[in-house]
Amino acid sequence: DTAVSQTPKYLVTQMGNDKSIKCEQNLGHDTMYWYKQDSKKFLKIMFSYNNKELIINETVPNRFSPKSPDKAHLNLHINSLELGDSAVYFCASSQWTAGSYEQYFGPGTRLTVT
């Protein structure tokens, strides 16, 4: 069984559209994350939720809105898509344990904005 899954794997859309990426983890973890990997391959954290509460919110345009309906899901909604939003988006999860933070990443969603 896949530990962290994302849908869709590929997403091609036009500028100005609104799209969502879904993430689910079946590891029983209490913390989930969204990362963005741009064309230069740098991975940057965007958001993190712990027990459905937002705990990390990096400098991300407010066109990006995460939503966590339950501990196993963290979705990313993007409004008014721009060319610069083209990237690979990775979801990850972990279990909060003092001093230990193994994060398990999903396969990524490649978003292309045309």
Binding site for other proteins (CB under 8 A): 4, 31, 33, 41-45, 48, 50, 55-56, 90, 92, 94, 96, 98-108
Which CB sits closer to other proteins, 41 or 62? 41
Could you give the CA distance from residue 46 to residue 61 in angstroms, rounded to a whole number? Answer: 10
Which CB sits closer to other proteins, 47 or 85? 47
Q: How far is the CB of 108 from other proteins (least distance, A)?
A: 5
Which CB sits closer to other proteins, 41 or 70? 41
Which CB sits closer to other proteins, 58 or 82? 58
Could you give the CA distance from residue 78 to residue 30 in angstroms, rounded to a whole number? Answer: 24
Could you give the CA distance from residue 6 to residue 92 in angstroms, rounded to a whole number? Answer: 10
How far from 17 is each of 11, 77, 82, 103, CA to CA, in Å? 12, 11, 9, 31
Q: How far is the CB of 8 from other proteins (least distance, A)?
A: 15
Q: Which residue shows structure tokens 């991975």? A: 43
